[in-house]
Amino acid sequence: MNDKFKRLIFVFLAVLISIFIIIFIVYIMAKPTEQEISYSDFLNKVLAHEVKSVKITSNRIEIMPVNNGIIKYKYITGIMDDPNLVNVLRNNDVDFSAQIVEQDSVFSAFLFWSLLMVLIAVLWFFLFRNVIEKSGGGVMSFGKNASKIFGEKKTGITFKDVAGQEEAKESLVEIVNYLHDPAAYIAIGARLPKGALLVGPPGTGKTLLAKAVAGEANVPFFSISGSDFIEMFVGVGASRVRDLFKKADEKAPCIVFIDEIDAVGKTRGGSLGGNDERDQTLNQLLSEMDGFDSSKGVVILAATNRPETLDPALMRPGRFDRQIIVERPDYAGRLSVLKVHIKNVKVGSDINLEFIARATPGAVGADLANIVNESALRAVRMGRNYIIHEDLEESMEVIIAGKQKKDRILSPYEKKLVAYHEVGHALVAALLKDAAPVHKITIVPRTMGSLGYTLQVDEDEKYLMSKDDILNKIKIFMGGRCSEEAVFNTLTTGATSDIEQATNLARNMVTMYGMSDEFGMVALESMQNKYLDGRTIMNCSEETATKVDDEVKSIINGCYNSSIRLIKDNVKTMDEVAEFLMQKETITGEEFMEIFNKNKELLYDENKNIELLK
């Protein structure tokens, strides 16, 4: 039953009950209150014409007075053996009758109350059921519980659908073979891992790999997210874990996949006061993993991007004793992910996947899949039924920098400033030896906040960065601000993220890469969570930290000085490119280099002339 329907029933019942209560109140109000009087008083009232009607029941006489207010009242009196009564009543114009069915009113009241009771019971049932479902106990909740577990009989995904990740696949092949033929492994006395932990940044294809294992082994696939175990009520998580393993046991051989296992698997008792529910869930998970018989062919795969937070007990032999690293793809990996996904869409002849793969260092499989999908959407928007390279490039930029924001209109001055800022980056990049070539400069504002950007694409993937590479990068970051200062003699907030990134690089040089003169190869910082934001923690004294700051400052200042010199020496090139940008908003790498090279030759000639004159 879905929630909407349930709510409807609830409202319906509430309305019904309110109606009953209102009717009941009206009934009480309409029902006259009673006052007992003596028989002689009764006769006196009749004689004084104060009585309107009289009703004689088996054991009493009910007297309705003539003047009755809003809240009605009536008199009652006992029955006398008075044969004259009828005559007296008739002579005084009193309407009188005797009651036929004495039980009637009792009966209707009974009916009313029992109906009300039934309704309240039904209402409680509904309310109560919700509570039981949430607490996860009880028989009724089973169906709901099970639905948190997502099951597929056949995933239909094989290793072919997972591009790259060859090492991960290699480790998983053994599990596939085992699921195909457990007997062969048991015969030789081999004990296979009950579980394997897939470790890597989000979007690298961990879920996909787990599904592929199930697909390759042709067994059912069950998955649940670690966060689904944790609910408000203590004990729910543990019961869900029990459920999961029971289900897996029934369907063995199968793959059970627990995503985000760090949600349950955090080191126990770490936080202040602990977390009873989570500890209990984890304990249940551990004992279930110990308890089940792996010869049946149940393999637990779990994924996490925070392996450092996991409880060591999870990694003990007999549990997740195998760790499979699923890294961000390198150039070849990215290219193959693109190839896998491009198969599902129609493409034109001009697409250059190699270029996209080269331009997206750091992107994970999910990003690349997204680029292909965005391209397809763009192609449809453009009224085409196939993808061209421009779609891919534009979608790549959407993923990197956000969507184009056409409605943001910059003032001419700001536009000029942004243009010079971006050209500053590009110019420094072009002037430095060994920096990645400029592919494109644009000053179209993007939804993710940037007002323009310069795209550099390296010819080959770099696995190592030299000190010079890093210094070059910092100088390129400085280029934007330098041109603001050199041309407009002003400083703007446009350089905020440049400054942040440059400072991070400089700091890492000093504290982690061993590239400073002062500290040499001493590690002053360590990486905290490698697969997420890569936050670091300082492990040095305060005096050292101060010195680190000084070093960082001197690196940045040094880079700034060399960038501003480069900019000031090449104002002419900058003017020309900026002019071009302001008119067209985008300049390609080739167009940029054309202007750049032309001016370089001029500069060269001028220098020669000066030399000749000397």
Active site residues: 422
Q: Which does 204 bind (CB under 5 to 8 A by kind): ligand ADP, Zn ion, none?
A: ligand ADP
Q: How far is the CB of 223 from ligand ADP (least distance, A)?
A: 10
DSSP conformational letter for 295:
G
Q: Which does 563 bind (CB under 5 to 8 A by kind): Zn ion, ligand ADP, none?
A: none
Encoded tokens for 478: 């400085």
Q: Which residues of 93-103 are buried (b: 16+ CB within 10 A; e: fewer)?
A: ebebeeeeeee
Find how far residue 463's CA is from the centre of its chain: 31
Whose Cβ is closer to ligand ADP: residue 208's or residue 387's? 208
Among the residue ranges 117-125, 428-436, 479-487, 511-519, the one whose residues contact Zn ion (CB under 5 A): 479-487
Select from 164, 201, 237, 480 the one that contacts Zn ion (CB under 5 A). Answer: 480
Q: What is the pairing mode between strands 322-325 and 33-36?
A: unpaired
Q: How far is the CB of 401 from ligand ADP (least distance, A)?
A: 20
Q: How far is the CB of 416 from ligand ADP (least distance, A)?
A: 41
Residues 6+ apart with CB under 8 A from 215: 154, 155, 156, 157, 158, 221
Q: How far is the CB of 371 from ligand ADP (least distance, A)?
A: 11
Residue of 593, 551, 548, 544 whose CA lies nearest to 573: 593
What single letter denotes the amino acid at residue 62?
E
E-strand ranges in 148-253 read 150-152, 195-199, 221-225
Q: Which does 300 bind (CB under 5 to 8 A by kind): ligand ADP, Zn ion, none?
A: none
Whose Cβ is closer to ligand ADP: residue 213's or residue 578's? 213
Whose Cβ is closer to ligand ADP: residue 165's or residue 375's? 165
452 near Zn ion (CB under 5 A): no
Q: Which does 480 bind (CB under 5 to 8 A by kind): Zn ion, ligand ADP, none?
A: Zn ion
Q: Which does 203 bind (CB under 5 to 8 A by kind): ligand ADP, Zn ion, none?
A: ligand ADP
Q: How far is the CB of 168 from ligand ADP (least distance, A)?
A: 9
Residue 554 CA to residue 51 CA, distance in Å, equals 110
Whose Cβ is closer to ligand ADP: residue 331's or residue 596's? 331
Q: Which does 157 bind (CB under 5 to 8 A by kind): ligand ADP, Zn ion, none?
A: none
Residues 6+ apart with CB under 8 A from 356: 334, 338, 368, 371, 392, 393, 396
Which residues contribute to the site for ligand ADP (CB under 6 A)? Answer: 162-165, 202-208, 303, 337, 340, 365-366, 369
Q: How far is the CB of 167 from ligand ADP (least distance, A)?
A: 12
Encoded tokens for 360: 């997206």
Q: Which does 208 bind (CB under 5 to 8 A by kind): Zn ion, ligand ADP, none?
A: ligand ADP
Q: How far is the CB of 209 from ligand ADP (least distance, A)?
A: 7
Whose Cβ is closer to ligand ADP: residue 303's or residue 555's? 303
Residue 410 CA to residue 235 CA, distance in Å, equals 57
Whose Cβ is closer to ligand ADP: residue 306's or residue 421's? 306
Q: Which does 205 bind (CB under 5 to 8 A by kind): Zn ion, ligand ADP, none?
A: ligand ADP
Residue 254 CA to residue 152 CA, distance in Å, equals 10
The owner of tokens 């907030």 is: 493
What number of chain residues touch Zn ion (CB under 5 A)?
A: 2
Contact string (CB under 5 A) for Zn ion, positions 489-528, x = contact: ---------x------------------------------
> Three-state SS string across 307-362, please?
HHHECHHHHCCCCCCEEEECCCCCHHHHHHHHHHHHCCCCECCCCCHHHHHHHCCC
Q: How far is the CB of 446 from Zn ion (least distance, A)?
A: 13
Residue of 555, 547, 581, 295 whose CA lies nearest to 427: 581
Q: How far is the CB of 249 from Zn ion (least distance, A)?
A: 58
Residue 452 CA to residue 455 CA, distance in Å, equals 10
Residue 331 CA to residue 336 CA, distance in Å, equals 9
Residues 6+ apart with CB under 8 A from 592: 426, 430, 438, 441, 577
Which residue, judged by CB position, is nearest to ligand ADP in the bound state? 365
Give the helix ranges, DSSP H, for 322-466. 331-342, 353-359, 365-381, 389-401, 412-431
Among the residue ranges 143-151, 458-466, 475-483, 543-551, the one whose residues contact Zn ion (CB under 5 A): 475-483
Residue 392 CA to residue 374 CA, distance in Å, equals 8
Q: How far is the CB of 489 from ligand ADP (least distance, A)?
A: 48
Q: Which does 498 bind (CB under 5 to 8 A by kind): ligand ADP, Zn ion, none?
A: Zn ion
Residue 480 CA to residue 567 CA, distance in Å, equals 10
What single letter denotes the amino acid at residue 402?
G
Residues 6+ apart with CB under 8 A from 596: 427, 430, 573, 577
Q: Which does 162 bind (CB under 5 to 8 A by kind): Zn ion, ligand ADP, none?
A: ligand ADP
Whose Cβ is closer to ligand ADP: residue 208's or residue 217's? 208
E-strand ranges in 447-542 read 453-456, 525-527, 536-538
Chain residues binding Zn ion by CB under 5 A are: 480, 498
